[in-house]
Structure formats: C-alpha cells, structure tokens
C-alpha cells in the first residue's frame, strides 16, 4: 500500500467550550508538587512538559529512595555474606517482587534488563536463534517502534526467515483479518506487537491477538513500554508469552527495563549474555546455567535503578493506576478536541487513544514548530519517533508529538494550543 493511500488522521473539530470534557480525576496540582523538575522555568516561562512518551519525570520519592540506597545500602548483590551485601540483595530481589506483582507475574519470570529494547533483543537472540528456522514467519505490525522491528529484521536475515505485517485500517486500528491470513500459513512462530503505539496512541487488542496467535501455535511478545505506565497490565489476562517495558517511562530511573517471560519458555531458552551471576558451575571448557531469572542477568546488576523502579511502582499504586488511566485518557481526549480547533492542524491516529497526540501543522516543519514551542516553555517531541515506516504510511517524514501523564492537566493543553497559534503567526510573518 502506498504511503498516501493510508493517511490516518482525525478531522478538524470545533467543540463548544461548555461541551469540552473536563479532566478532574486526579489532584494534578498536588501531584505536581512531588516532581522537583516541574518547578523549572524555561525561557522565562513555567515549564509545560509534554514528552512523557519519551521519558517521564521522577517524583521526589524515587529520587530519595535511590539516594538512600547509595548512601546506606550499596554493595554488590548475591555473592556477599556480610550484612551490607545481604541488605543490598534483599533490596534488589524485593524490587523484583514488586515489579512482578505489578504485572501479575512470578518473580522468576521477571528479568531485569537495561530497557525495553534490550528485553526484546534478549528474546530475539535467546529464543529466536533457537526456534526460528528458514522459511518461518515473524509477524509484526506496521506501527512498531524500531525497538520492536530491527531486532526481528536482524534475526530474519540471520535465520532466513520472513517478516510479515498486520496492516492498519484507515482509522489507525489494526486489521486483524490480515493477521489471520498470515496465521493460516502455519509458518508463524511469533507475533510481536506494541500494546500502545508511541505515534498514533492506538490501543491494540493484545488479548485478541494473543488468542488468535496461540490457536495457530505461535507465541506472542508485547512491547508494553507505552502501556505499563498508563494502564493496568496483567500478563496472565493478556495471554502474552513475553512482555517488555522500561522504567524511565513510568516515573522510574533510566537504565532499568523488564522482560516478562512464561517460566517454561524461559527455562528452555539459552542465556543471552555470558559472565558472572548467570552461571551455576564453571569449568575451563563448559558451564551450567543459574536458575531463573538470574540466567539472563549476567554481571553486576543496576541495583539502585531497580529499587528506584520499585519506588515508582509504589507511587503509582498510591495514586491508583486505574485513576491514572482514566485521567490520561480523558486528558488525551481533551487535547484531541482542543487541537481540532487549530486551523491547518491534522492529528494522526484514532479518536480512542492513549495519552499522546502526534500531529502535522500545515506550512510548519515539526522541528521548527517544536523549537518555537520551546520558546514558550513547552517541551514536545519532533521527528519520526523511532517509527520511520509508520510515518511513511502516514505520508509524512516527521510529526510533532505531545504526550501526557499524571502531572499534566487541561491548562497544559491550553498552553500547547496557545503556543501553536503563536507559532503560526511567526511562521506566517
């Protein structure tokens, strides 16, 4: 399908003020007090941070917990028998239990990685090299982030396998009939899909995808980097065999990610990296592997980041992940309607979406628009958002993206719209 044949957009909408949705599900002003960085001013104006899909800000509780670890608990884990090492090990494995509980997994099924990208690469290397053979098929979607595309391209090239894609319908939803056509071949080994698109905001029917894939004998990997921060995710209910996400998009630190894998699948997989921690016994010519999940965690782990992620999950639980989901979706809907009032602006993706909007403004390059918004203290992302193939389908080389989280409110959206209108005046001058 040629790029311009499938442009996904939302029509321009003028919504009377009294009919606009209101977002009052969280006490956002109270929440904002917990985020020190949000007190900053940029270019003499209060900061409006609208780039949480790239990375979220961190609450004071997370920063303080990490500082406490490094000041009072820091030691290498698992191997030490002295009290400090035991405290560090308890903190690290306690963090794993918190993360596992948050997604409905068992601790032994919860592997710490550097980020979601590494988690997906772990599967493509450890599981893929063992199970994908010449002529086999890996099914992705047309909206994937490069992190859930390039590892499979590399594997397909190495193993002489094929990549096929679930197509998008004109409204930005996945066409599951195209999935069925791929599954009918009997050659599909894995279906890998984003839970929520980082460009369109589309919330994909992951449970139904998993049901259909499993009926044909295929496994399912879910890239949940944009989902776990915003909605309740239960790996058992989803039926996913693998699920990847990252800490820094959910109020936690950079440098820590998570791979969930069903225990029986992880048990059968070889290690991803070799070295310390991941071994049980080592001889000069051969070794045996450690138990799960340590078999996949070679070397010294990022303990401080793990405890920071656990603290972030504690924060989200205290706020209530269901409240976060309702707030984010409502704010996304408000942004969609407000942006629909801007002449010459086109929003890409469905009306029912997650907490982000990607858009194109007639006569303005996304980078120019983002720079002008920055002068008004508004931080948005501009580019292809690590999803170049999707932008080709949309018929644009780049978009501007505003993404929201629990510390944003209607005033932030209004500032965004005001900033766009100001940018339009400058660009038209």
Going by their DSSP bridges, the two strands 257-261 and 279-282 should be labelled as unpaired
At residue 81, the pLDDT reads 93
At residue 2, the pLDDT reads 37
Is 353 in contact with 201 (CB distance < 8 Å)?
yes
Q: What is the pLDDT of residues 279-322, one digit of tens each?
A: 999 999 999 999 999 999 999 999 999 999 999 999 999 999 99
At residue 23, the pLDDT reads 45
Which residues pair with residue 123 across a beta bridge?
A: none
Helix (H) or strand (E) holding 163: strand 162-166
Reported confidence tier of residue 325, pLDDT bands at 50, 70, 90 = very high
Reported confidence tier of residue 171, pLDDT bands at 50, 70, 90 = confident
The whole-chain average pLDDT of the chain stands at: 94
CA–CA separation, 32 and 332 (whole Å): 18
> With a threshold of 0.85, does the pTM exceed it?
yes
In order of start, what are the domains of the chain with their CATH numbers?
A: 3-57+321-428 (3.90.1150.10), 62-317 (3.40.640.10)
Is 329 in contact with 175 (CB distance < 8 Å)?
no
CA–CA separation, 241 and 167 (whole Å): 22
Extended strands (E) in 264-411: 279-282, 287-289, 345-348, 356-361, 378-379, 381-383, 399-403
Residue percentage of the chain with pLDDT more than 70: 94
Q: What is the pLDDT of residues 200-247, one digit of tens each?
A: 999 999 999 999 999 999 999 999 999 999 999 999 999 999 999 999
Reported confidence tier of residue 24, pLDDT bands at 50, 70, 90 = low
Helix (H, G, I), strand (E, B) or coil at 220: strand
Nearest to 396 by CA among 349, 347, 360: 360
Q: Return the active site residues.
A: 386
Q: What is the pLDDT of residues 26-49, one digit of tens each?
A: 899 999 999 999 999 999 999 999
């Amino acid at each position: 399908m040629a790029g311009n044949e499938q442009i996904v957009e939302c029509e321009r909408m003028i919504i009377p003020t009294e009919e606009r949705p209101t977002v009052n599900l969280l006490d956002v002003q109270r929440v904002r007090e917990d985020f020190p960085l949000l007190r900053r001013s940029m270019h003499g104006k209060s900061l409006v941070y609208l780039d949480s899909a790239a990375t979220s800000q961190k609450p004071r509780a997370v920063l303080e917990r990490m500082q406490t670890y490094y000041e009072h608990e820091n030691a290498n884990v698992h191997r030490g028998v002295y009290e400090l090492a035991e405290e560090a090990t308890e903190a690290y494995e306690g963090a794993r239990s918190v993360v596992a509980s948050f997604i409905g997994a068992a601790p032994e099924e919860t592997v710490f990685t550097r980020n979601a990208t590494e988690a997906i690469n772990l599967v493509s290397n450890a599981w893929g090299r063992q199970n994908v053979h010449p002529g086999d098929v890996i099914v992705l979607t047309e909206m994937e982030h490069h992190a859930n595309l390039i590892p499979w391209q590399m594997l397909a090239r190495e193993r002489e396998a094929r990549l096929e894609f679930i197509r998008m319908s004109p409204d930005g939803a996945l066409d599951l009939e195209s999935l069925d056509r791929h599954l009918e071949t009997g050659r599909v080994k894995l279906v890998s899909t984003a839970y929520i698109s980082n460009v369109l905001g589309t919330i994909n029917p992951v449970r139904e995808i998993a049901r259909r894939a499993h009926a044909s004998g295929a496994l399912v990997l879910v890239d949940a980097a944009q989902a776990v921060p915003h909605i309740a995710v239960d790996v058992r209910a989803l039926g996913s065999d693998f699920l990847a996400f990252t800490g820094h998009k959910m109020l936690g630190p950079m440098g820590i990610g998570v791979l969930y894998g069903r225990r029986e699948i992880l048990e059968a997989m070889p290690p991803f990296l070799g070295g310390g921690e991941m071994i049980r016994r080592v001889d000069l010519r051969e070794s045996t592997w450690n138990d799960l999940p340590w078999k996949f965690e070679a070397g010294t782990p990022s303990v401080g980041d793990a405890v920071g992620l656990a603290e972030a999950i504690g924060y989200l639980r205290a706020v209530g992940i269901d409240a976060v989901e309702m707030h984010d979706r409502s704010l996304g809907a408000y942004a969609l309607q407000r942006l629909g009032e801007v002449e010459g602006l086109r929003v890409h993706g469905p009306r029912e979406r997650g907490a982000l909007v990607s858009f194109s403004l007639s006569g303005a390059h996304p980078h120019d628009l983002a720079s002008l918004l920055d002068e008004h203290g508004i931080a948005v992302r501009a580019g292809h958002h690590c999803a170049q193939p999707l932008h080709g389908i949309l018929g644009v080389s780049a978009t501007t993206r505003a993404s929201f989280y629990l510390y944003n409110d209607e005033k932030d959206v209004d500032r965004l719209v005001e900033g766009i209108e100001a940018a339009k005046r400058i660009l038209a001058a």
